[in-house]
Amino acid sequence: MPTTVGEFRADGETPLTMLTAYDAPTAAACERAGIDAILVGDSMGNAALGYDSTLPVTVDEVASRTGAVARATDETLVIADMPFLSFGVDEAESLHNAGRMLKEAGAHAVKLESGSHTVDLTERLAELGIPVMAHLGLTPQKVNQLGYARQGTSREAASEIVDLAVAHEDAGAFALVLEHVPANLAARITDELSISTIGIGAGKNCDGQVLVANDVLGLGERIPPFAESFGDLRGEMETAIADYVDAVEDEEFPADEHSHVESDLDDLY
User: How far is C-alpha 101 from the geometric centre of its chain's CA atoms?
Assistant: 14
Flag whether 113 is marked binding.
Answer: yes
Looking at the chain, which runs of residues are DSSP E strands?
A: 16-20, 37-40, 77-81, 109-113, 132-137, 175-179, 196-200, 208-211
Q: What predicted TM-score, i.e. pTM, was given to this entire model?
A: 0.96
Residue 179 known to be catalytic: yes
Residue 43 is labelled as binding a ligand: yes
* Confidence at residue 134, expressed as pLDDT on a 0 to 100 scale: 98
Whether residue 78 contacts residue 107, with contact meaning beta carbons closer than 8 Å, is answered with: yes
Whole-number pLDDT of residue 51:
97
Averaged pLDDT, 163-174: 98
Listed in sequence order, the residues at least 6 apart from 194 whose beta carbon sits closer than 8 Å to its beta carbon are 169
pLDDT at 269 over 70: no
Q: Using 50, 70 and 90 to split pLDDT, how confident is the model at 117?
A: very high
Closest by Cα among 94, 24, 83 to 55: 83
Which of 7, 156, 179, 238 is catalytic? The answer is: 179
- pLDDT exceeds 90 at position 40: yes
Question: Structural domains in the chain?
Answer: 5-231 (3.20.20.60)
Q: Which residues of 59-94 are buried (b: 16+ CB within 10 A; e: fewer)?
A: bebbbebbbbbbebbeebbbbbbbbbebbbeeeeeb
Q: What is the pLDDT, as a whole number, of residue 202?
A: 98
Q: Over the stretch 218-252, which tens digit does the pLDDT of each residue have?
A: 998 889 999 999 999 999 999 999 999 999 999 99
**42 annotated ligand binder:** yes
pLDDT tens for each residue of 185-212: 999 999 999 999 999 999 999 999 999 9
